[in-house]
Amino acid sequence: MSLSPVRLFVLNGANTNLYGLDPTGPYGALTLEDIAEDCRARAKVLGGTVDFRQSNHEGVLVDWIQEARTAADGIVINAGSLSYTSIALLDALSAVKRPTFQVHVSNVFTREPFRHHAPLAAAVTGCIIGLGSSGYGVAVEALIAHIRRR
């Protein structure tokens, strides 16, 4: 029996394009392209595909979430700093109803208090927090497993 490929969108928000610039900072040495390559490789092993995207613009992320309604089986999202402020992303994720895992590269609960509140968590299937850039791969693997179980 052959399983159809699981199609994932991995969406990245504000300032995630700067990953890797400060290897001693909370986001580590890997660039977003390094992370994209890892996500694609992990998904391929599990019979999935990854469409990896980044934008600093909230409306673009909303458009991509809405596109996922028909073009993806699930979403991994690291909205960057928009994770703490965007009701538009929350509403889009709630409306689209795709299984979604949210990734926070750093442990937001050891950082500034404003990061302790994450509105998007109300609309996602699960959250991966504080595993560094490897959290993306964990999210991809967990999301594919979740989709296959449904």
Instruction: List residues with catalytic annotation.
Output: 27, 104
Q: Which of 88, 94, 73 is nearest to 14 (CA)?
A: 88
Q: Where are the beta strands (DSSP E) in the chain?
A: 6-14, 48-54, 74-80, 100-104, 126-129
The verdict on whether residue 106 carries a ligand-binding annotation is yes
Secondary structure class of 126 (helix, strand, coil): strand
The verdict on whether residue 62 carries a ligand-binding annotation is no
Tell how strand 100-104 and strand 74-80 pair up: parallel
The Cα–Cα gap between 72 and 55 comes to: 18
Cβ count within 10 A of residue 19: 23
The verdict on whether residue 78 carries a ligand-binding annotation is yes
The verdict on whether residue 10 carries a ligand-binding annotation is no
Residues annotated within the binding site for substrate are: 78, 91, 105-106, 115
Residues annotated within the binding site are: 78, 91, 105-106, 115
